[in-house]
Amino acid sequence: MVKKRQASRAIVIAGFAAIAVLVGVMVMLQVSSAQNSEFKQKWDAIVFDSISLTQEYQAEEGKWKAGQYDNSTMAGIVDKYMPRYQSLIDRANALETPERYTEARGLLVKAIQTEKDSNEHFREYLLTGNKAEYDKALDLFSLSLKYSAEADAAIKEAG
C-alpha cells in the first residue's frame, strides 16, 4: 500500500512538473512572439520613414532637373537631408533585433547608408561638375535599391 501511495505521489508530482514545463514553454513563446511583433512594428516604421524620405528627396532632385534649382541650391538641399538619413541609420542600428531578423536589419542599414552615400557623391558632382561623382551616385543608388529588395526578402523569409 505504501508503494502504491509513493508511486501515485510520484505520478502526481511528475504531472505537475510536466504542466509547469508546458506553461514555461508557452510563456517563452509568448515573449518571443511579442519581441518579434515589436521588432516588426519598429522595422515597418523605419521602412515607411525611409520611403517617405526618398520620395521627398527625389521630388527636390526633380526640381533641380527641371531647372528650378541651381547646383549650389541643390547641394544645400542635399546637406539638409544628410542628418535625416543618419537618423534612420541610427534608428535601424538601435533596433533590438531577434536573431532571426539580424540579416534583414543589416541589409536595411546598408540600403539607407548606401542611399546617403549616393546623395553625398551627387552633392560633390553638383559642386565640382565631376562626372565620375555623378556616375558613382547613380551606381550607389542602384546598389541601395538592391539592398532594399534583399532586406525585404530577408524579413519575409525570417517570418
* pLDDT of 137: 97
DSSP state of 30: H
Residue pLDDT, tens place only, 28-68: 545 456 667 889 999 999 999 999 999 999 999 999 999 99
Q: Over 60: is that where the pLDDT of 17 sits?
A: no
Structural domains for the chain: 34-158 (1.20.120)
* pLDDT of 80: 98
Q: Residue 67 region, left (φ>0) first, then alpha (ψ -120 to 50), else beta?
A: left
Q: Over 90: is that where the pLDDT of 138 sits?
A: yes
Question: Both ends of the chain: CA-CA distance in Å?
Answer: 55
Q: Are 73 and 117 in contact (CB under 8 A)?
A: no
Q: Over 60: is that where the pLDDT of 26 sits?
A: no
Residue pLDDT, tens place only, 79-126: 999 999 999 999 999 999 999 999 999 999 999 999 999 999 999 999
Residue 146: phi and psi, rounded to 5, are -65, -50
* pLDDT of 87: 98
